[in-house]
Each structure stands twice: as C-alpha cells, then as structure tokens.
Chains A and B, each alone.
Chain A
Amino acid sequence: MTAGPMTAGAQPLTFVRREAVPAAPPPSLVAGPLAWLRQNLFSSPANAAMTLAALAVIALVVPPLLRFLVIDAVWTGENRDACRPEVIGRPVGACWAFVANKINYFIYGSYPIEERWRPNVFFVLMAFGVGWMLWLDAPKRAWGALYFFVVFPVLSYGLLAGVPVLGLPSVPTSLWGGMLVTLLVSLVGIVASLPLGILLALGRRSRLPIVRLFCVIFIEFWRGVPLITVLFMANVMLPLFLPGDVTVDRLVRPLVGIALFSAAYMAEVVRGGLQAIPRGQTEGAMSLGLSPWHRMRLIILPQALRIVIPGIVNSFIALFKDTSLVSIVGIFDFIRTIESARVDPAWAAPTVVMTGYAFAALFYFVFCFGMSRYARFMERRLAAGQTR
C-alpha cells in the first residue's frame, strides 16, 4: 500500500482524479486483422492446434470436391456417351449434362408436356405470395395475407388440377411430380402446421379439461408415431375407414398426414414460447381491459413466437426434408424423380448417380439455408431495440 493522506478533513486527497480521462483509440495489438487472427485462431496452443487441424481437413476435402463438381465435370451432352471416360478420354466428374437433360422431369414429373405452363404459372404465383408475406415492409400486407391464404390456394388448385369447364383439361395428381410436388407438399405442410400448432399449444394450456385432454392426446399421438407409419396409414388404412364411394385423392392423403404430424411438433415448440412469457404480461393486459383474444393476439403470441423462431424454423426445415418420405407411398416427389431418372439406360454412366444426389443435396440445401438465413434476419429485426 502506498502511504497517502488517508485522513480527510482540511488536507486535500492526493490520489483523487480531478478531470475525466478522454477515451483513447486502442493500441494496434488489439485491433486490425493480425490482432484478430491472434485473438481468434491462435489464442492458445489448443486453439492453434485446432486451427491447423481444421486447415488440414479443408485442404483434404475441398480440392477433390472442386475437381469432381467443377473441374472434371461434363456440362453438355445428349446421352451417356458424354459422361463416359472411355469415350471422351479424360477423367469424368459430375455429369451435369444428365441433370440438364432431365431437368424438366425433375421439375414437373410426368405433368403433361403441353400443360407445363400451368406449374410455371403456379411457381410465379407462389413466389409472388411468399415474397409478399416475407417482405415485412411490403405494402398492403393484409391483402397479401388474403391472397396467400385464400386466393392463391384456390387458384393453384384450379390451375394444377384443371377446370374442364374453363377449358383447362384436368391433370390427375398421379402425373404431378418433381420439385412441383416437393414444394407443394412443403408449402401446404408449413402453412397448415403453424396455425394448427398454435391452436394445439393454446389448447394444451387451456383451463378447460376436455380441450386440454383432446390436445394432449392429439399431440402425443402424432409425436409417438413415425412419419413413415403415418404415410402408410394415410395411404392404406384411411380408405378402409371411409365409405366405399368416398375416395380421397392419393396426394391429399399424405398431405394431410404431414400437416397434422408437423402441427403436433409445432405445438410443442409454440408451447415452449408461451411458457416463457411472464404472468405479468397477461395481468398488465387484463388490467387495461383487453379481451382474452386481444391479449393473446397482441401481447402474448407476438412475444412467444418471437422467442421460438429458431424452433419454428427448425421444424420447417425438418418438414421440408421429410417431404421426401412421400416417395415411399408412390408419390413422385423430387427425390423419386431422381431415383427413377438415374436408372435410365440412356444415361448409364459411372458418375450419373452421384451427380443426381449432388443435385438433390444442392436443391434442398438452397431452400433450407434460405429459410435459416431469413429466420436470422427476422430475429434480428424483431429484436431491434428490445432488450429485456
């Protein structure tokens, strides 16, 4: 300890600052790229070792991948000969010519060729509606919601299934396929599961025992059954329970199954959010005379859903990928079209199978990553200014 005038009184204190110290710029050792490297990648021997190991893995994996996907890839060709090394006389990587050749099949499945403008219009309508909904500052979002939830589904159904009266020949769902079906099933699943899940979550927290019991049984049933089982049951068993003359479309059956299945998961995600909202929020709203419906819609749900955005998107992504399971009940979704195209003898070449799967992976990745990024953006935006 330094000896100082510790006694107060008339004597001035020597060690007390008289004016504030102005903020100074940081020394170069704590800012700039070199400092960043040192701090983040080589801060300790263990960290340095991990950095080097990661670099080694990258060096091992990336060059062969690039070689296969880009450098040695074949981009054009009419048939298998384009992708056979013994024919073109060089090592062959991905056979993108195969994808290019089959792309229409991957997009539309067996949808009649002369009617394929209809799925195209559907894609445009869908992109328009999804864009309107996802763009948070878009004008007239209430109209957007009306379009997306009412006009668009009706229009799409008429468009894709056909309205013979209006001169649109009907196209049975057995001919639909490819990305069309994958996107359709995912969209219906996503759009139906969130509101249903919210209702189930609210029901599970209801004070009415019958409602609560129903919701608990519903949620636990769907969560307790594998999706494959649901799809088989929807396809095989549902017709047994319905009167003989009633048939449910073979695409609608798994669609309903998937929507209910993911609604059960969604309900639990949403319930987690509801539980995180303090009781005081409800009381504050009650004391202002807000009705139960307004309390839920204006106070509780906006906060609860914001908390569980990561969980909701997680469910959406899982749902999007799980739609590939519909292929086992005979629906030609995107994966199934790849499966059947890859065995085409006209394209029998060594790398065709791998190329097909790489293309599938790319397709799924683009959509899932897009959802993930959008969710991050949404979270950050909703969190703006709001710190608890």
Chain B
Amino acid sequence: MASSPVPTPTASVPLPEADPDLAPRNTSATRLASAPTAVSLERVNKWYGAFHVLRDVDLTVRKGERIVICGPSGSGKSTLIRCINRLEEHQAGRIVVDGIELTNDLKRIDEIRREVGMVFQHFNLFPHLTVLENCTLAPIWVKKMPKAEAEAIAMRYLTRVKIPNQAHKYPGQLSGGQQQRVAIARSLCMAPKIMLFDEPTSALDPEMVKEVLDTMVGLADEGMTMLCVTHEMGFARQVADRVIFMDEGQIVESNTPDAFFRAPQHERTRLFLSQILH
C-alpha cells in the first residue's frame, strides 16, 4: 500500500505553530494542535470481576481527531470505547467527554450519550422497526423533535449513506453492509459530536466491507471526531490521525499511521502487525 503523499512527522509531538484550517489530511499534529479536547481519559481502570481489563489508560482525543484502536482480542479495546459512553462502567480514574465528567449521575450519562454516537459490530438495529423508524426513534423520543422534521433529517442521512430507497424496509430485509450503513445513519441523526465504532466491519461479508468503510471515510473527511476499533489497516492508513495499539488492557503504542506501520516501537506491536498484515 502506498504511503501518504504528504510527508508526515514520525513523532507524535504536536507542532504548536500550525494553522488547523490549512493542514491537509494526515498532518494530524499540525491540524489538531490547537483543537479543544473532546475526550480525555486519566488513569482509567476497570475490572470484570477479578480480571483487570483496563490498566491505567491515559488518552486525550482532540476535537476532529480520528483514532484507530487495534490490538489482539481481549486486549480491552472494545471495553475502552464502551466506557466512553458508559455502556461499561470504569472503577477508577476520570473520563471526561465533551467537558462532562462521567459519574453515576444518570442525567449526565444521558447527556453524554446524546453527544456520542456508536456503531456496533452486530449493528444492533431494532428489527421490529423500519429503517426510517430506526433513524427517527431517538430524535423523536430523546430530542422531542416533531416527527416530520425527524423524518426529513433521517432521509438526509439515509441519502448520505446511499440507501434512501430502503427507508421503508425492515432491517432484516437488508444486507449486512446496508444494515451497518443504516446504523451509521441512525447515529448521525442524533447529530453527535463524537462517533465510536466498535469493529464495524468485522461481522460483514468481505464484499460489503468497502461500502461501510467508504461511509466512514466520508465522515472523517467532514471532520467528525472518531474512535474506531478496527483491524482495517488500510482504513487506518487512509484516515487515522493516530493509531493506538492496546495489549493486556494498556495502551502499548500510540503513533501516526505512517510511523506506526513503518517503524513500530514495541516488540509486541511488531508481532501483532506481522500477524495481521500478510
């Protein structure tokens, strides 16, 4: 795969003098330097029973930053992004999303979930509702939006993910790739500031992976803040500002895609990459 045409700094140290508006894609350090923080995790720890699944995870995500998280199964990457919208509860440390700290306060959790969209490996569409109803449900019930307005917005996003003509079908009648694009549209209907992707292409047939990735690339081009757990390394190279490698509940390596793939720093990362890049 060709590396990015733009020369990228190999170190992840941000360059403070850059103008975010002029920077082309993948010069993450320059574009993001002055962007405000979208998500910050400080010494986050989580246990499943006695199993220590997240160990002292520190991570700061800037607004507009695209992060790809990879790592072997069981390394805690899904758990990490599920903590960000409180599908999982962390037991120690601080998680601040869009300026709101995650605590047990249910009101705040709901506020954060409204701001954070999530796309799941198994889509988690509602099979008893049509595609359109899937998309309008949350705007109508959570944002109290009038039905007509919610439907107009839903149709706009369904058009964006290129399936407006399937709006009145049920999810079960669509292909996996179409279902995942509906799931993306459903999240976008809530106008989220941050999007979380939990292995969005892992359950898809190979010929459907591309249509979902294309949608995600389009989203990245519009400046959406994205955290993606994925093993699509082509996607990582193309859009990520940063690639994070996790193992045994810790962030082992965090670097620009170019540096990450060209010169991985840790032995564990090299082993992982050699196993997934055939």
CA distance A287 to B186 in the complex (A): 11
Complex partner residue of A387 from B110, B120, B173, B186, CB under 8 angstroms: B173
B window 120-146: CB within 8 A of A? 120, 122-128, 137-138, 141-142
Say yes or no: is A17 at the interface (Cβ < 8 Å to chain B): no
Residue interface bits A270-283, CB-to-B below 8 A is 1, else 0: 00000000001101
Distance (whole angstroms) from the CB of B235 to the closest CB of chain A: 21
**Residues of B close to A286: CB separation below 8 A:** 85-87, 113
| B120 in contact with A388 (CB, 8 Å) | no
| B85 in contact with A303 (CB, 8 Å) | no
Complex partner residue of A290 from B116, B127, B138, CB under 8 angstroms: B138
Q: What range describes how many residues of A lie at the interface?
A: 20 to 34
| B127 in contact with A289 (CB, 8 Å) | no
| B118 in contact with A287 (CB, 8 Å) | yes
Say yes or no: is B156 at the interface (Cβ < 8 Å to chain A): no
**Residues of A close to B110: CB separation below 8 A:** 289, 291
| A287 in contact with B141 (CB, 8 Å) | no
Decide: A299 near B187, CB < 8 A? Known: A287-B118, A289-B114: no
Decide: A298 near B113, CB < 8 A? Known: A289-B190, A290-B142: no
Say yes or no: is A385 at the interface (Cβ < 8 Å to chain B): yes
| B142 in contact with A386 (CB, 8 Å) | no
Say yes or no: is A131 at the interface (Cβ < 8 Å to chain B): no
Main secondary structure of the interface of A (DSSP, over half): helix
Say yes or no: is A58 at the interface (Cβ < 8 Å to chain B): no
| B127 in contact with A388 (CB, 8 Å) | yes
CA distance A298 to B126 in the complex (A): 10
Complex partner residue of A288 from B127, B128, B173, B187, CB under 8 angstroms: B187
| B187 in contact with A287 (CB, 8 Å) | yes
Q: Whose C-beta in chain B lies nearest to the C-beta of A382?
A: B128
Say yes or no: is A284 at the interface (Cβ < 8 Å to chain B): yes
Distance (whole angstroms) from the CB of A12 to the closest CB of chain B: 28
Say yes or no: is A302 at the interface (Cβ < 8 Å to chain B): yes
B window 157-181: CB within 8 A of A? 169-170, 172-173
| A289 in contact with B138 (CB, 8 Å) | yes
| B113 in contact with A386 (CB, 8 Å) | no
| B172 in contact with A284 (CB, 8 Å) | no
CA distance A388 to B127 in the complex (A): 7
CA distance A326 to B107 in the complex (A): 50
| B169 in contact with A385 (CB, 8 Å) | yes
**Residues of B close to A306: CB separation below 8 A:** 128
Distance (whole angstroms) from the CB of A367 to the closest CB of chain B: 29
Say yes or no: is A294 at the interface (Cβ < 8 Å to chain B): yes
| B141 in contact with A281 (CB, 8 Å) | no
Q: Whose C-beta in chain B lies nearest to the C-beta of A387?
A: B172
**Residues of B close to A285: CB separation below 8 A:** 126
Q: Whose C-beta in chain A lies nearest to the C-beta of B138?
A: A288
Decide: A386 near B114, CB < 8 A? Known: A289-B142, A290-B141, A302-B128: no
| A284 in contact with B190 (CB, 8 Å) | no
Q: Whose C-beta in chain A lies nearest to the C-beta of B169?
A: A385
Complex partner residue of A385 from B120, B122, B142, B170, CB under 8 angstroms: B170
Say yes or no: is B117 at the interface (Cβ < 8 Å to chain A): yes
Distance (whole angstroms) from the CB of A261 to the closest CB of chain B: 31
Decide: A289 near B126, CB < 8 A? Known: A386-B170, A387-B172: no
CA distance A289 to B106 in the complex (A): 11
Distance (whole angstroms) from the CB of B190 to the closest CB of chain A: 6
| B127 in contact with A283 (CB, 8 Å) | no
Decide: A385 near B172, CB < 8 A? Known: A287-B117, A289-B142: yes
Complex partner residue of B87 from A287, A298, A385, CB under 8 angstroms: A287
Q: Whose C-beta in chain A lies nearest to the C-beta of B133?
A: A298
| B172 in contact with A388 (CB, 8 Å) | yes
| A288 in contact with B186 (CB, 8 Å) | yes
Among B114, B118, B122, B124: residue with most chain A CB under 10 A: B124
Decide: A288 near B113, CB < 8 A? Known: A280-B120, A283-B87, A388-B127: yes
Decide: A386 near B128, CB < 8 A? Known: A286-B113, A289-B113, A291-B110: yes
**Residues of A close to B126: CB separation below 8 A:** 281, 284-285, 299, 303
Distance (whole angstroms) from the CB of B181 to the closest CB of chain A: 15
Among A280, A289, A306: residue with most chain B CB under 10 A: A289
**Residues of A close to B142: CB separation below 8 A:** 288-291, 294
**Residues of B close to A294: CB separation below 8 A:** 141-142
| A288 in contact with B172 (CB, 8 Å) | no
| A284 in contact with B120 (CB, 8 Å) | yes
Distance (whole angstroms) from the CB of B18 to the closest CB of chain A: 34
CA distance A50 to B63 in the complex (A): 74
Residue interface bits A366-388, CB-to-B below 8 A is 1, else 0: 00000000000000001001111
CA distance A382 to B170 in the complex (A): 12
Distance (whole angstroms) from the CB of B232 to the closest CB of chain A: 21
Distance (whole angstroms) from the CB of A281 to the closest CB of chain B: 6
Complex partner residue of A280 from B122, B138, B196, CB under 8 angstroms: B122
CA distance A303 to B172 in the complex (A): 14
Among A284, A294, A298: residue with most chain B CB under 10 A: A284
27 contacts between A and B (CB under 8 A): A281-B124, A284-B120, A284-B124, A284-B126, A284-B183, A286-B85, A286-B86, A286-B87, A287-B85, A287-B87, A287-B124, A288-B113, A288-B137, A288-B142, A288-B186, A289-B110, A289-B190, A290-B137, A294-B142, A298-B137, A298-B141, A303-B126, A306-B128, A382-B128, A386-B170, A386-B172, A387-B173
Residues of A within 8 A of B (CB): 280-281, 283-291, 294, 298-299, 302-303, 306, 382, 385-388
Given contacts A283-B120, A287-B85, A290-B142, 4 further A-B contacts (CB under 8 A): A284-B124, A302-B128, A386-B170, A387-B173
Closest 10 CB pairs of A and B: A284-B124, A288-B138, A287-B118, A289-B113, A280-B124, A289-B114, A387-B172, A385-B170, A289-B142, A386-B170
